[in-house]
Amino acid sequence: MSRKSLIPLMLMSALLAGPAHAEKDHERHLLPETIDYALILPANLPHILKVAQAQAGRLGLDEAQKTLIRELIAEAPIKVFARLKQAETLEKALAQDVLSGALSAAELPPRLDSLASAKRAATEAQIATIGRIRASLSEVQFKQLLKLASSAGSH
């Protein structure tokens, strides 16, 4: 076989091996957790409540600030995680219907809208919580909280 005919053969082999290699990498993905259903990934918008509570002394929080943190910790599962759980349920059902062929093209857009809406509602609730924390802390305290949350891997 000539050298010129080997080049297209090698190129074709590489192209055909690509999808198999990509599928192998895909298999390593971990199963998603409920927090992974957020519209903004937790790595980019960390959950800072537990860090704020655990590091209250280091942050120099006063009693009013500590009380607010406790209140927000009590509210967060209702406002954020309930919506994330709803998004998880919607996404899994949608994926199953797509894979089984039980979903028509006309049924897809409203289902995607419901999924996006649940993720948005959870993210908006999380952003509102962050806003309440930020408003109750000094700028120095909030910056320190973000630093601690980032180093703690709070997502």
For residue 133, what pLDDT is reported? 96
Q: Hey, how many other C-beta atoms are within 10 angstroms of the C-beta on 80? A: 24
- Alpha-carbon gap, residue 131 to 77, rounded angstroms: 17
The DSSP H or E segment spanning 112 is helix 108-136
- Alpha-carbon gap, residue 123 to 7, rounded angstroms: 51
Q: Which residue has the higher pLDDT, 110 or 42?
A: 110
pTM over 0.85: no
- Alpha-carbon gap, residue 104 to 107, rounded angstroms: 5
Whether pLDDT at 116 is above 90? yes
pLDDT digits (tens, 9 = 90+) for 142-153: 999 999 998 865
For residue 39, what pLDDT is reported? 87
Q: Hey, how many other C-beta atoms are within 10 angstroms of the C-beta on 70? A: 14
Which tokens sit at 128? 């509102």
3 band by pLDDT with thresholds 50, 70 and 90: low
- Alpha-carbon gap, residue 114 to 139, rounded angstroms: 37
How many degrees, rounded to 5, is the angle at CA 52 between CA 51 and CA 54? 60
Whether pLDDT at 155 is above 70? no
| Residue linked to tokens 């971990």 | 30
For residue 79, what pLDDT is reported? 87
pLDDT digits (tens, 9 = 90+) for 38-85: 888 877 888 899 999 999 999 999 999 999 999 999 998 888 989 999
